[in-house]
Amino acid sequence: MDFENKVAIVTGAGQGIGYEICLHLVMQGANVILNDIDAPLAEAAVKTINKNAAGKCVAMAGDSSDTEFIQKMVDEAVAQFGKLDIAIANAGITLFGDFFNYKPEAFLKVMQVNLAGSFFLAQAAANQMKQQANGGAILFTSSVTGHQAHKDLAAYGMSKAALEMLAKNLVIEVSQYKINVNTIAPGATLTERTLGDESYTEVWNRITPMGRPAHVSDIANAALFLVSEKAKHITGQTLIIDGGWTSVSPSPF
């Protein structure tokens, strides 16, 4: 997959899946706006990525669910690199909670970050791509919890399922401008948050048909395919990356 001179925005990318996506894009020649709400984390990520990069990575710290900041990211991509080809709405928040006691403020936070942030990044990116008249790719990050019920994740799972419907609906809106929109749905994945938890690895090794949870590179490789020129005729789809877990769905609890 050739991303030379492609320009991308990736949100929630200071570490984990988002970071790995940025790394793969830049190593293959793309210029990337790397966003994270944590400024030191974003700057450190960019410094590491740019050490042996074919493209260029630029940090933009800020709230990816804020519509004014979203537009600033799009404007910065165009100011720095002259265009925008790819928008990956990866930022998300997980707030566990018992349904019977789930707080309105937690619900609204999950919806603002996971849904509003993704919706308005897609909107701003599509408007820019429409002006450029040469197409583009938009990618949302869902989850297997949008397909299978998970304990204490009613609000989160709801938000992730909604992203998949959003991708389907945007096919109607943006296909005429040669923009494709898809979603990835990662399953259990080894990230900075889960690597130190031996019980997490043990459980998901046992209940995943492929024998292990995903590595971040597994998710990044799928994401890069869907935003590449090789996937231009694929749109409105969700790709589940879970080692087969949703096919059998044993509970991790």
pLDDT per residue as tens digits for the range 17-36: 999 999 999 999 999 999 99
pLDDT at 13 exceeding the cut of 90:
yes
CA torsion angle 193 196 197 198 (round to 10): 150
- What pLDDT shows up at residue 253? 80
pLDDT per residue as tens digits for the range 106-147: 999 999 999 999 999 999 999 999 999 899 999 999 999 999
Question: 61 lies in a domain?
Answer: yes
- Furthest CA-CA distance within the chain: 51
Model confidence band, residue 198 (pLDDT cutoffs 50, 70, 90):
confident
- Among the options 6, 72, 160, 168, which is catalytic? 160
Question: 249 lies in a domain?
Answer: no
* Rounded Cα–Cα distance for residues 77 and 84 (Å): 6
Question: 68 lies in a domain?
Answer: yes
- What pLDDT shows up at residue 163? 98
Mean pLDDT of the chain: 96
Question: 231 lies in a domain?
Answer: yes
- What pLDDT shows up at residue 251? 85
- What pLDDT shows up at residue 250? 85
For residue 46, the domain's CATH number is 3.40.50.720
Question: 23 lies in a domain?
Answer: yes
**Can you read off the two tokens belonging to residue 152?**
């204490």
Question: 41 lies in a domain?
Answer: yes
Question: 251 lies in a domain?
Answer: no
* Rounded Cα–Cα distance for residues 226 and 229 (Å): 8
Q: What are phi and psi of 54, to 5 degrees?
A: -85, -35
pLDDT at 184 exceeding the cut of 80:
yes
Counting the structural domains of the chain, the total is 1
pLDDT per residue as tens digits for the range 28-82: 999 999 999 999 999 999 999 999 789 999 999 999 999 999 999 999 999 999 9
Mean pLDDT for the stretch of residues 166-187: 98
* Domain extent for 149: 7-244
- Kind plus residue range of the DSSP H or E element containing 34: strand 31-36
- What pLDDT shows up at residue 249? 86
- What pLDDT shows up at residue 167? 98
19 carries an active-site annotation? no
Radius of gyration from C-alpha coordinates of the chain: 17
pLDDT at 196 exceeding the cut of 80:
no
Closest C-alpha to 62, from 83, 76, 50, 51: 76
Question: 101 lies in a domain?
Answer: yes
- Among the options 156, 168, 200, 230, which is catalytic? 156
